[in-house]
Structure 1
């Protein structure tokens, strides 16, 4: 029996989400007393992560929308 696109999505997405969550969790370890950081560094770190999350979410939103024509 051939794998459906839905099944393939779930098969691939589950380990990727798990790895992404683990990576975000590891960022929290940087808050420990073994490190020194500024609020600006923390803001930049989480800003970069949030930007990538926003880009990934947007890719799903644009799936069925026609792309705007630009030069």
Structure 2
């Protein structure tokens, strides 16, 4: 769990932070950390390591699948928001 997360706090938490502000703060932290990890994977593409095309393909397939899963999750949530019935 991120050190700035407070799972037991309601919307806004003790700091009065809005849901949007919390989303932005956490998204920035998590995306930055993820991009750093991806750069580290790129560091494996040197002659200091031995690898083959199949291994590289598996790495990229796993990364693409993870990205696709996250995109789908966001899309489903957005679609549910649009589908709500209001009077």
Shift of 1:2: 1.4
1:41 aligns with 2:55: yes
Aligned length: 66
Correspondence for 2:66 among 52, 58, 71: 52
Between Structure 1 and Structure 2, the one with more helix by share is 1
TM-aligned CA deviation for residue 64 of structure 1: 3.4
Structure 1 segments unaligned to the other structure (5+ residues):
67-71
**TM superposition outliers: structure 1 runs of 4+ over 3 Å:** none
Q: CA offset at residue 4 of structure 1? A: 0.8
Measure, in 2, the Cα distance between the counterparts of 1:55 and 1:65: 15
Per-residue CA deviation, residues 6-45 of structure 1 (Å, 9 max, x unaligned), is 0000111111000100011111110111101010100001
1:18 aligns to 2:32 (yes or no): yes
Unaligned runs of 5+ in 2: 1-14, 81-87
Q: Highest relative contact order (Cα 8 Å, sep 6+), 1 or 2?
A: 2
Cα RMSD (Å) of the superposition?
1.2
